[in-house]
Structures are given as C-alpha cells and as structure tokens.
Amino acid sequence: MDNKKVSDSGGGSFFKSKYSEYRNQVKATKEFDSSLTKASTPKTSTPAPAAAKPEGQPNAQTNQAATQQAVLKGAADDMLPSGQLSPKITQFMGMIKESAARHGVPPELVAGIIWQESRANPQAKSYCGAQGLMQLMPQTAAGLGVTNAWDPAQNIEGGTKYIKQMLDRFNGKVEFAVAAYNAGPGNVTKYGGVPPFKETQGYVPNVMGYAANFKASGLFVESSNTMRA
C-alpha cells in the first residue's frame, strides 16, 4: 500500500476546501439527519458488524456524492461565540498533539474524531460498549495496547494509532479512513469507498467539517503533521 506522508503543504487548504464543498452542497439539499446533532449520546466508532445491505445499493461513485451532500448540522458547535474552542477539547490538546506527532496524523483530524465521537467526554460510553474520548471498543482497544480506555491519554493514543492504520490501509485517503473508523475497514473495501450507511454518510463530512474548524482555530498552526489531499 502507498502510505502517503504528511507535510505542511496544502493541509489547511485541503480541510477548508472539503468543508466549503460540503457547505455548498448543504445549500442545495433539504435532507437532514437529526442524529448529527445528538451530542449527549456518542456513536460507535470502532469497527462494528456490517450493517444490512439496503435495497437498490448505490455504487461507489453514488456513495461519494451522497457523502458530499450530507448536511453539516452543528459543524461549528466546537466554537464558542468568541471564536475560542470549547475547554472540553482544549484540555486534551497536549495529548492530541503528542499522539498525532508520534503517529504522523493531522492533530486536527484526531480532534475532529474526538468531538464527533464523544464531545470530548472521557467517560462517554455508547449503547454497544464503545468507551472514552475516541469511543474504542474493548476488543479493539486491547489490540491497540490500551489497558484503560477511560484514561484520556491512553484512549487518544489508541484512537490515533487506529486512524493511522486506516490511513495506511487506504493509501492516505482521509475520507475512506474516517469512514473505516466508523463502519469498519471491511465495509469500506466492500463498497469501494464510503459505505451507503446513513450514519457513516453523515459521520464522514461531519468529522471533516470539525477538522476544518479545528485547523482554522490556529491551535495546530505550529504542527508539521498536516494531511495532503
């Protein structure tokens, strides 16, 4: 597999262009997925059993278009009115930067996943048992060397290591890696891209939008780990 390296060049513009692209699509659609705004109940993030195949399965190209049309409801809710980031996430920025640098992952992407998964709640637990900031399933956490998923540093380290594995597996394609974090790499491979599952179709642009916001916040301006398109 072609493991794309990370660099400063074009990283911010990539996330911003993706965010602008999704926002433009929002203007042209009236479809709303209310699950995108539920901050109180974290969603399953680590690989889960494959969802049932819906009737009339769209192809990979259609899947991608559907992802781009997903509504980014609440994509700026990590920002306070003053433009400051919520202290819920800033308290973990040191850990995020350290793990991101160690694994060569954009820190804003890690922060985006954390915000989507748990709204930066280290005690979050999903209905299916996913735990902590990055919502690691116990079996996945163990495989990543995480002995205590409730410990923020270990959770962030495990989740960052996992998204790095997905980036490597899908040749640096950020959208595919994010989709794999939510729906499992097997489903991304099966459908040749973002799977046609309602949750994943909303999850991917939401995380990308959050990543763009975190990048725009300037907190990661000194970081050299920025994803290329």
Q: Which pairs with CB-CB distance under 8 Å and at least 24 residues apart come from 183-192?
A: 183/47, 183/48, 183/51, 184/46, 184/47, 184/48, 184/50, 185/47, 186/47, 186/50, 187/50, 187/51, 190/50, 191/60, 191/63, 192/59, 192/60, 192/63
Residue written as token pair 């891209």 = 193
Give the residues across from 131 on adjacent strands: 125, 136
Question: Are 43 and 135 spatial neighbours (Cβ–Cβ below 8 Å)?
Answer: yes
Active-site position among 31, 55, 98, 117: 117
Distance CA 43, CA 60 (A): 24
CA dihedral 5, 1, 179, 182 (to 10 degrees): -100
Distance CA 159, CA 53 (A): 27
Element (H, E) at 21: helix 11-27
21 in active site: no
Q: Which residues are catalytic?
A: 117
